[in-house]
């Protein structure tokens, strides 16, 4: 399926947000996620099914100033 990931077109076979995060290397990382403009808590990512054309935002904290 094709989704928008952080504003960029992205093809994935992930069925839910948890799978997508793991595939991207964020399985154990502290990140913030949203699907179609709605925040998704870490505990809800496995239950958040992805569909074609979803808009997904993944934000990882960064250090610095």
pLDDT reading at 65 higher than 70: no
Please name the residue that has the structure tokens 């399926």. 1
CATH superfamily, domain 2-59, is: Beta-grasp domain (3.10.20.30)
Q: Round to whole Å and give the CA distance between 30 and 25.
A: 11
Residues near 31 by Cβ (< 8 Å), separated by ≥ 6? Answer: 21, 42, 58, 59, 60, 61
The whole model's pTM is what? 0.90
DSSP lists the bridge partners of residue 8 as: 5
pLDDT of amino acid 28: 85
pLDDT band per the 50, 70, 90 thresholds, residue 62:
confident
């Amino acid at each position: 399926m094709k989704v928008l990931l952080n504003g960029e077109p992205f093809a994935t076979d992930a069925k839910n947000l948890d799978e997508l995060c793991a595939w991207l290397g964020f399985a154990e990382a502290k990140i913030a996620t949203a699907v179609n403009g709605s925040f998704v808590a870490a505990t809800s990512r496995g239950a958040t099914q992805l569909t074609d054309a979803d808009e997904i935002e993944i934000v990882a904290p960064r250090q610095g100033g």
